[in-house]
Structure 1
Amino acid sequence: MKAFKSSLWAAASAVVLTLAGGPARAAEAPPAGHYKNFRAAIYIAVSTTHTLADPARREREFQRAFGQVRFDKVYLEVYRDHDFASPAEIEAVKAFFKSKGVAVSGGITLAAGGHGGQFGTFDYENPADRAECEKAARLAAAHFDEVILDDFFFYASKSPADIAAKGARSWTQYRLDTMREVSRDLVLGPAKQVNPKVRMIIKYPNWYEHFQGLGYDLEQQSQMFDAIYTGTETRDPDATDQLLQQYESYEAYRYYSNIRPGADLGGWVDTFSTRYVDRYAEQLWDTLLAKAPEITLFNWTPMSEPRPVQPGERPWKGQATSFDWAAMAASYRGVGANDPGPGWGRVAGYSLEQIDKVLGGLGRPVGIPLYKPYQSSGDDFLPNYLGNLGLPIEQTPRFPMDGDMLILTEAAKADPDIVAKIKARLMAGHDVTITSGLLHALKGRGIDDIVELEDTGRVVSANTFLDGYGAGDGRPLNEPGVATPQILLPEIGFYTNDSWSLVRAVAGAKGYPILLMNRYGRGVLYVLTTPENPADLYNLPEPVLTRIKAFLQRDFAVRIAAPADVALFAYDNDALVAESYRPTVSTVQVSVKGAAKALRNLATGESVRAGPSEKLPDEAARTTFEITLPPHSYAAFKVER
């Protein structure tokens, strides 16, 4: 570990340690169960709680589910959408699972149905809705010592009563105020009154950029509950309306864990919007690569139903990918002539068994700190796009004053002292990267006292790129024979010889900075120009991405040169994971700081020997390895010195 550890490793660890104002307690260790490195749980919705009250049905469904995926626990839901389970149903199903050696906790979904495809929430100005919310909390606490809230505990109502109660407040502030009160008075208070030892867990969903607008509060509410949980379901990155990128299955758990160190109990994945089975497996893997101590599978129905899973669109099906459909099918043990074959449960079981083999060799996750203040938005979900470019991101709600590099997106504008904090970091010799979105947002707030740059308001379309700076310098960064689409970029104006464009786009006879640098005090301020459509980051040529990563990770212990949609997960014990979300084979250059002999594959034991190395001017020595990733596959390695 000592040889692999850079100052950024130490800084990233320090960020996590100081988030709560003191040392973070270790995440809860999983008890002895079916997996060495985590627990597996299944969530049971209240409609299924009703049906499992039938002894014959629950035995049949249990055999189907447990025969496919070994699970240690279930969350038994007692309320959702005006539907309550009866005490008799709850106790019968609870006793059944306990008799099978499965731990049982409770669940509630504080939602009120929906309309026209939109989710419906309680109207917390309506006495009947408030009473129903409290009744659900009391029911769950009466039967369980641990209760999780599914992620519908937000506030979307705009009834006349809401409008009147809101008054002059913004909708965001009204909803934050209301949900803090509701959490205290209608959920936690009544639950603790019924069962003083109950542990109440709030599960936060995946759309964190917009939480505050609907009353989800990561600042105060997350501390009110006994623990939190993370929705790590990212589903399809293109076709679904939220456009959640694959890396978020890892990044969201890391972010929420930094909000409540040691109290983020796990990640939660469902089977929805999955065009190919590998996408489901990736969500499970990435949640656990973030070191979640528990994974919850939503929900019981796809794990237990007598229906075969379909492979989906898999043009790479003949290749040796991490999710091996043939091996999964061969691992299934059917029962009887009418057995339907492997279902979603076996996909989950196979994927969990596979990742469990390498997790023990991975240390503590580390990444480039990215500061996102509470109740902020801007450059929405950009950290996950950056993660898909191969930048390991460790998002934090507190501004780190140390460490080699810090990334700030437009969301940082929510901090009224952000410019002063940037100055302090730079003066102390610690670098900062800001996005063009944040540069624009800080106009008139003092950023010119650090560097005189201008977002001109003009946009250019470009598809030619160069690196290098200085008189007559400029190496082409387009890939020979590969067509690069036109990308819309904001124009950043700067003073030549005060700032330097390290990577630039060229349109006609004019250059436009992609990565700009300016020295201030003892540090360097970088400005990363993000395309008008952040997805166009994926259209940048691979050499452009490689140069950006080289500067942003100059002192980071490991970095990769790879096409977009190849992620890097880094750990503090000389371990790393590279994962491809691409539909084709990818060649990846892994660059580690210092001298190294080989990369040892944690799954196969095979070693990759070092090759020629390339580094930036004045950069410390690095060692480079070349690996090949099949489509939708990962590989875990330990650096051998």
Structure 2
Amino acid sequence: MTERNSYRNFTLAIYCTNRDVKRMADQKWLESSLNEISKHVKIDKVYLENFRESMIVDKDTMLKVKSFFESKGIKTSGGMATYLGENHRFKSWCYTRSETRETIKKVVRDLAEIFDEFIIDDLFFENCKCEECIKAKGSKSWKEYRLELMEEISRDVIIKTAREVNPNIRIILKYPNFYEHFQFVGYNLEVQPKLFDMIYTGTETRDPDYTMQHLQEYQSYLIMRLLENTKPGGNGGGWIDPLGRRTLDRYAEQIRLTLFAKPREITLFSYGILLEFIRQSDGSYKPVSTLAAIAGRVLDETDSFLDKLGKPYGIPSYKPFNSSGEDFLHNYIGMIGIPLEITPVFPNEADTVLLTECAKFDPNIVEKIKNFLIKGGTVIMTSGLLSALKEEVLRELVAVEYTDKKALVKGFTIFESWLSPSTHVYYSDTPIIIPQLKYATNDAWEFVTALDKGSGYPILLQTKYANGTLYILTIPDNFSDLYHLPEEILTYLRRLFMSNMKVYMEGPSRICMFLYDNDSFILHSFLPNPASCNVIVKGEGKIRELRFNFEPKGFKRDGEKVFSLMMWPYSYMVFKIE
């Protein structure tokens, strides 16, 4: 067996689709392609898939390819994908039908005979609405039916079948990137992580503008933290692909942000996609890999400092299991420089909690808010949750109502004191549509206001409750308009969210901050242009950049230390507070 170099802080896996595996039966092709990829990345493991698009790889080929990789010192695990193919536009298999179940059982048996571990790719969902499914659903909602169905398939068709063949098998369920919508197609974050030995995280965010999902860059980090908090110690790693991008920068950023969440393993999808083939003069084809070269540089670079970072943390945001509302808003807030940590368990021990609309799925949420405030905590509630809770907020917490009226605003001001008028008006670079909130004078106070033609609409309201403080934050109709808020307003919000943290940032949106519990942090710019920003450290601290080993000069201001920085496009810096 060959000795192989590995990364210090994580392992690297490559997922090989069934088509890749079939092609690997050609030993010459397998040798040359592996040599090319291995020039750039340090492979610890491959996932070998036996099934996708109704095509099963025969056992002899699987065993031959498995043996080859193991002879090179590369670990092997199995893989499967319940995917019908491109022509079906992500239509799932019909798991209601017995024929589907029997096919899956055969695939699982084959994997369990060959491997001691296999992973299920993130196409393991149910969106079929055939007549058989409609009949089986009966009076249940599609969400209810699919959650029950996929729990049954997970437990009785996949896990039970695999363990009958191989009692020691480890089965990993990979979750896709659409975490807000899992429950609508049968993914159950409350139940499935308890059934499977491990889970895995799809951190593919691709292009935020020109792909259908419009996922924000910050999600590659945040979804890792959500699934780590869902199954602590049982989130196997993050999975990236190079698809749906306009530039190669986006591929590198997805890898980098996944690593910022400190995963145990990174998986690159897929072996075949990593390769290109250049025709030679003799008619043969030489494999090359631009993608592997980019991945290798990012992996090496990030591995050089990951061990200097502590455990990731941020302002906790409670997202109950199988909930949705203000979908993916957390990532937009992350993109304005406010570090978050999504958790499916209400964070009773925290100082501050962010509650978006999805918290409405907890039937006891108002009581939890009250108890949190009584203990002296700070609750930041979005306008979406205010709208969802309606009368409960009015009756139990504060006289604030979400109306059906809108306002088109561009000017903003901050009220530092109720005794004096605001002294500055700050302007966004584009008009922003916001919902109008109505509140009772003296039961709540405006701290940030949007101005329009002699009138004003609250952006940030505050009220005291027992020993705590409740804030209500107005969210624009278009979440990305948060990026267009004036820098002064963004800084005010960052100071509020991060009031119990040692550091925060002043500057434009689209510069993200990642915090770690050993006083280290990362700033990452997603701006296409150079931008200046300030890092503010509370007290007398200084900061050191860890990659390039320099100390920015700072100055004192109001009991804080201010460090001015220039962020270059799509760049990042890693700091330690000393």
Q: TM-score, normalised by structure 2?
A: 0.96
Residue 573 of structure 2: aligned partner: 635
- Answering whether residue 547 of structure 2 is matched by residue 603 of structure 1, we say yes
Q: Cα offset for 1:498?
A: 2.1
- Are 1:477 and 1:544, in contact at CA under 8 Å, matched by a contact in 2? no
Q: Cα offset for 1:294?
A: 0.7
Q: Cα offset for 1:208?
A: 0.8
- Answering whether residue 66 of structure 2 is matched by residue 94 of structure 1, we say yes
Q: Cα offset for 1:339?
A: 6.7
- Answering whether residue 75 of structure 2 is matched by residue 103 of structure 1, we say yes
Query: In structure 2, which of residues 308, 312, 315 is the aligned counterpart of residue 365 of structure 1?
Result: 312
Query: In structure 1, which of residues 437, 442, 456 is the aligned counterpart of residue 389 of structure 2?
Result: 442
Residue 38 of structure 1: aligned partner: 10
Aligned partners of 1:33 and 1:521: how far apart in 2?
A: 58
- Answering whether residue 286 of structure 2 is matched by residue 346 of structure 1, we say no
Residue 537 of structure 1: aligned partner: 482
Q: 1:475 to 1:364 in 2, by over 3 A?
A: farther
Aligned partners of 1:307 and 1:594: how far apart in 2?
A: 58
Query: In structure 2, which of residues 395, 399, 405 is the aligned counterpart of residue 458 of structure 1?
Result: 405
SS in 1 for 2:60: helix
Residue 551 of structure 1: aligned partner: 496
Q: Cα offset for 1:477?
A: 4.8
The structure where strand makes up a greater share of residues is 2
- Answering whether residue 371 of structure 2 is matched by residue 399 of structure 1, we say no
Query: Can you list the C-alpha shifts for 1:54-81, whole angstroms capped at 9, x where unaligned?
Result: 1111011111111122211111111112
Q: Cα offset for 1:623?
A: 2.3
Aligned partners of 1:107 and 1:130: how far apart in 2?
A: 17
Residue 181 of structure 2: aligned partner: 210
- Are 1:75 and 1:104, in contact at CA under 8 Å, matched by a contact in 2? yes
Residue 262 of structure 1: aligned partner: 233
* Matched AA of 1:57: W
SS in 2 for 1:98: helix
- Answering whether residue 160 of structure 2 is matched by residue 189 of structure 1, we say yes
Query: Can you list the C-alpha shifts for 1:480-499, whole angstroms capped at 9, x where unaligned?
Result: xxx62110000111122221
Residue 472 of structure 1: aligned partner: 420
- Answering whether residue 529 of structure 2 is matched by residue 584 of structure 1, we say yes
Q: Cα offset for 1:307?
A: 5.7
Aligned partners of 1:460 and 1:64: how far apart in 2?
A: 57
Q: Which moved more, 1:167-176 or 1:105-114?
A: 105-114
Query: What is the RMSD of the two structures over their aligned residues, measured on CA atoms?
Result: 1.7
Q: Cα offset for 1:231?
A: 0.2
* Matched AA of 2:556: P
1:283-432 equivalences under 5 Å are 283-306=254-277, 343-432=290-379
Unaligned stretches of 5+ residues in structure 2: none
Residue 143 of structure 2: aligned partner: 172
- Are 2:394 and 2:401, in contact at CA under 8 Å, matched by a contact in 1? no
Residue 191 of structure 2: aligned partner: 220
* Matched AA of 1:101: G
Q: 1:506 to 1:579 in 2, by over 3 A?
A: same
- Are 2:116 and 2:169, in contact at CA under 8 Å, matched by a contact in 1? yes
Residue 252 of structure 1: aligned partner: 223
- Answering whether residue 90 of structure 2 is matched by residue 119 of structure 1, we say yes
- Are 1:306 and 1:343, in contact at CA under 8 Å, matched by a contact in 2? no
Residue 280 of structure 1: aligned partner: 251
Aligned partners of 2:37 and 2:495: how far apart in 1?
A: 47
Q: 1:475 to 1:109 in 2, by over 3 A?
A: farther
Q: Cα offset for 1:557?
A: 2.0
Q: Cα offset for 1:473?
A: 2.2
* Matched AA of 1:129: T
Q: 1:543 to 1:140 in 2, by over 3 A?
A: same
* Matched AA of 2:398: V
Q: 1:79 to 1:538 in 2, by over 3 A?
A: same
Aligned partners of 1:448 and 1:242: how far apart in 2?
A: 37
- Are 1:219 and 1:374, in contact at CA under 8 Å, matched by a contact in 2? yes
Aligned partners of 2:502 and 2:128: how far apart in 1?
A: 48
Aligned partners of 1:556 and 1:518: how far apart in 2?
A: 22
Query: Can you list the C-alpha shifts for 1:553-593, whole angstroms capped at 9, x where unaligned?
Result: 11122211121111000000010000001101121211223
* Matched AA of 2:373: L
Aligned length: 571
Aligned partners of 2:354 and 2:97: how far apart in 1?
A: 43
Q: Which moved more, 1:420-429 or 1:105-114?
A: 105-114
Aligned partners of 1:599 and 1:474: how far apart in 2?
A: 34
Q: Cα offset for 1:445?
A: 3.0
Aligned partners of 1:167 and 1:223: how far apart in 2?
A: 28
- Are 1:114 and 1:120, in contact at CA under 8 Å, matched by a contact in 2? no
SS in 2 for 1:282: helix
- Answering whether residue 104 of structure 2 is matched by residue 133 of structure 1, we say yes
- Are 1:97 and 1:104, in contact at CA under 8 Å, matched by a contact in 2? yes
Query: In structure 2, which of residues 508, 511, 514 is the aligned counterpart of residue 569 of structure 1?
Result: 514
Q: Cα offset for 1:122?
A: 1.5
Identity of aligned residues (%): 41
Q: TM-score, normalised by structure 1?
A: 0.87
Aligned partners of 1:214 and 1:186: how far apart in 2?
A: 18
* Matched AA of 2:483: Y
Q: 1:604 to 1:114 in 2, by over 3 A?
A: closer
Query: Can you list the C-alpha shifts for 1:234-286, whole angstroms capped at 9, x where unaligned?
Result: 01011111011000000000000000000001000000112111111111111
* Matched AA of 1:216: Y
- Are 2:504 and 2:537, in contact at CA under 8 Å, matched by a contact in 1? yes
* Matched AA of 2:560: R
Q: Cα offset for 1:357?
A: 1.1
SS in 1 for 2:66: helix
Aligned partners of 2:195 and 2:223: how far apart in 1?
A: 20
Unaligned stretches of 5+ residues in structure 1: 1-30, 309-336, 615-620
Query: Can you list the C-alpha shifts for 1:302-327, whole angstroms capped at 9, x where unaligned?
Result: 3233369xxxxxxxxxxxxxxxxxxx
- Are 1:477 and 1:541, in contact at CA under 8 Å, matched by a contact in 2? no
1:1-40 equivalences under 5 Å are 33-40=5-12
Query: Can you list the C-alpha shifts for 1:282-304, whole angstroms capped at 9, x where unaligned?
Result: 11111011011111000101323
* Matched AA of 2:209: D
Aligned partners of 1:162 and 1:636: how far apart in 2?
A: 52
Residue 55 of structure 1: aligned partner: 27
Q: Cα offset for 1:100?
A: 1.1
- Answering whether residue 561 of structure 2 is matched by residue 623 of structure 1, we say yes
Flag the structure with more relative contact order, 1 or 2, with Cα contacts below 8 A and sequence separation at least 6: 1
* Matched AA of 1:558: V
Q: Cα offset for 1:33?
A: 4.7
Query: Can you list the C-alpha shifts for 1:128-184, whole angstroms capped at 9, x where unaligned?
Result: 111111111111111111101100010010111111111111100000000000001
Query: In structure 2, which of residues 39, 45, 68 is the aligned counterpart of residue 67 of structure 1?
Result: 39
Aligned partners of 1:448 and 1:584: how far apart in 2?
A: 48
Query: Can you list the C-alpha shifts for 1:175-232, whole angstroms capped at 9, x where unaligned?
Result: 0000000001110000111111110000001101011010000000111000000000
Query: Can you list the C-alpha shifts for 1:11-39, whole angstroms capped at 9, x where unaligned?
Result: xxxxxxxxxxxxxxxxxxxx995211111
